[in-house]
Amino acid sequence: MNTIVERIQQADVCEYIDLVGQEKDLYRGVGWRLARFENGILAEIYDIENVPMQENIEAMTAAAIANARAWLSERDATQVYFVLCSCYQLCEPVAMTNEWAWKKMEQVLFNEFSLIDSVE
């Protein structure tokens, strides 16, 4: 199997990784996730948005980031990407190897939670 970087393809709107074979069994629908790979093969998907609803969006975002950091602390960060799951693809992959990736995750989560809050 190719490395993760070799699997990243470029479309008109974003980069993406196609899920193949048994990787598709890990897919649970659209949303922002952490995707962990082993030898270039998807091994695990972590739902970063799975936190209890709270009145305070900042607190909800902070809880999601803390949970993600705890999850990642038990894994090899060089094999984990922040992705948008969509149609059996992992879109906009960002390696979780630097602080910029965490800032992007925080911004995305805050925006996602703000949308949920505005609907209620």
pLDDT tens for each residue of 60-118: 999 999 999 999 999 998 999 999 999 999 999 999 998 999 999 999 999 999 887 66
Q: At what angle do helices 57-73 and 99-119 cross, to 10 degrees?
A: 140
Residue 116's nearest CA partner among 56, 75, 74 is: 56
How many domains does the chain fold into?
Answer: 1
| C-beta of residue 102 within 8 angstroms of C-beta of residue 88 | no
For the chain, first and last CA: distance in Å? 45
- Number of neighbours of residue 5 by Cβ within 10 angstroms: 10
What is the structure's pLDDT at 120? 54
What is the structure's pLDDT at 102? 95
Q: What separation in angstroms does the CA of 95 have from each of 59, 105, 116, 119?
A: 25, 11, 26, 31
- Domain containing residue 46: 4-119
Does the structure show a pLDDT above 70 at 1?
Answer: no
In this structure, which amino acid lies at residue 109? Answer: L
Q: What separation in angstroms does the CA of 81 have from each of 11, 42, 73, 78, 97?
A: 18, 10, 14, 8, 9
What region, left, alpha or beta, does residue 34 occupy, with left being phi > 0 and alpha being psi -120 to 50 degrees?
beta
Tell me the whole-structure pTM to 2 decimals: 0.90
